[in-house]
């Protein structure tokens, strides 16, 4: 059969079902194919019928609304907003659908993994000793090359790779799921605990394994907390739970401060039972000027900066939506 010549499709019309700021729309426009037209508040203004592509965040469309869009080719949903369309109806209309992952959960997961790596590498201690000018006795500075260099001149007793270490994730929602994938990529043995366990097929696909809560605490070289805060989960990590963790293990919390009994955490750090901990969230935010956390040993803290700013998230999400449309629009026959 003779092949039809390819033709480049340009200038699609992209409808935003709701209103966004000019900066957010600009992020979408930059990512779209050349000549694309963006319609704001398309549902309210009555211009949605012109759409080749839809971008949905908060406002969902029902089946009748979708069926009335004769030129529609694709729908991009932004998962942080919760908008939905019927995939069955879209399939019947020959319309593709694709979701855009919010950068917020991914940013928190990245921050979590950064903290885990920093703890295993003893980064806070290494940095402090370096800045303080600590040099192991007998080491003198010299110009380095490929074969000649000074190793661990501040005299760290221990610093480790995460490869092969068991990392326990308590709560595996959006953030925990991304963290699990990143940690698996680093070669960690990832175990998890959550109320509704994944299916065996999902566990195999993710490369993680389930353990009951107490067993997870007892087997993990590092425990990372990802639960939501409720009255039931307040102080879910207390003296009993820290005592169950192995001597010399680590703890990370990028979820919510009140999940942790901070006095119990400090006791575990001061006693040396925990080799270190990292916190991005606290009972009091900002932490109080006289907070004993400021003097706790081997404690890495960041000022609740794991997630990206909300306004930036929307711009990033719309930019991602634009790239999806540009990739899907492309060349047609």
* Residues with active-site annotation: 256, 285, 304
If we measure between CA atoms, which residue out of 179, 174, 158 comes closest to residue 249? 158
- The token duo for 17 is 């079902």
186 burial type by CB count under 10 A (0-12 exposed, 13-18 middle, 19+ buried): middle
**Could you give the C-alpha distances from 111 to 100, 102, 106, in angstroms and in order?**
20, 15, 9
Long-range contacts of 90-93 (CB under 8 A, 24+ apart): 90/66, 93/66, 93/67
The rounded distance, in Å, linking the Cα atoms of 3 and 200 is: 46
Phi, psi at 235, each rounded to 5°: 55, 35
Please spell the DSSP secondary structure of 202-250, one letter per residue: HHHHHT-EE--HHHHHHH-SEEEE-PPP-TTTTT-B-HHHHHHSPTTEE
Judged by DSSP in three states, 167 sits in strand
77 burial type by CB count under 10 A (0-12 exposed, 13-18 middle, 19+ buried): buried
Measured in whole angstroms, the distance separating CA 52 from the mean position of its chain's CA atoms is 31
Rounded to 10 degrees, the C-alpha dihedral 275/280/284/289 comes to 70
The rounded distance, in Å, linking the Cα atoms of 35 and 12 is: 7
129 burial type by CB count under 10 A (0-12 exposed, 13-18 middle, 19+ buried): middle
Look at the block and give the residue holding tokens 């406002």: 59
């Amino acid at each position: 059969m003779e092949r039809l010549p390819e033709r480049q499709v340009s200038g699609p019309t992209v409808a935003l079902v709701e209103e966004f700021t000019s900066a957010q729309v600009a992020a979408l426009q930059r990512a779209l194919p050349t000549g694309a037209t963006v319609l704001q508040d398309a549902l309210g203004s009555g211009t949605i019928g012109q759409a080749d592509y839809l971008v949905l965040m908060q406002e969902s469309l029902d089946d009748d609304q979708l069926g009335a869009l004769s030129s529609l080719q694709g729908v991009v949903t932004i998962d942080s907003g919760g908008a939905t369309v019927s995939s069955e109806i879209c399939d019947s209309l020959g319309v593709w659908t694709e979701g855009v992952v919010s950068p917020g959960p991914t940013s928190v997961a990245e921050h979590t993994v950064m903290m885990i790596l920093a703890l295993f590498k003893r980064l806070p201690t290494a940095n402090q000793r370096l800045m303080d000018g600590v040099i192991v006795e007998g080491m003198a500075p010299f110009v380095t090359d490929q074969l000649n260099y000074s190793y661990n001149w501040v005299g760290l007793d221990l610093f480790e790779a995460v490869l092969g270490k068991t990392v326990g994730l308590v709560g595996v929602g959006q953030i925990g799921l991304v963290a699990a994938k990143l940690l698996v990529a680093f070669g960690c043995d990832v175990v998890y605990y959550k109320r509704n366990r994944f299916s065996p097929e999902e566990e195999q696909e993710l490369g993680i394994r389930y353990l009951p809560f107490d067993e997870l605490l007892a087997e993990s070289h590092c425990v990372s907390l990802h639960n939501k805060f409720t009255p039931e989960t307040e102080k879910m990590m207390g003296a009993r739970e820290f005592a169950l963790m192995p001597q010399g293990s680590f703890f990370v919390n990028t979820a919510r401060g009140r999940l942790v009994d901070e006095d119990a955490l400090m006791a575990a750090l001061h006693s040396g039972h925990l080799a270190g901990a990292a916190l991005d969230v606290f009972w009091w935010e900002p932490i109080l000027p006289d907070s004993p956390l400021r003097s706790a040993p081997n404690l890495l803290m960041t000022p609740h900066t794991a997630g990206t700013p909300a306004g930036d998230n929307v711009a990033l999400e719309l930019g991602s939506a634009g790239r999806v449309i540009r990739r899907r629009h492309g060349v047609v026959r």
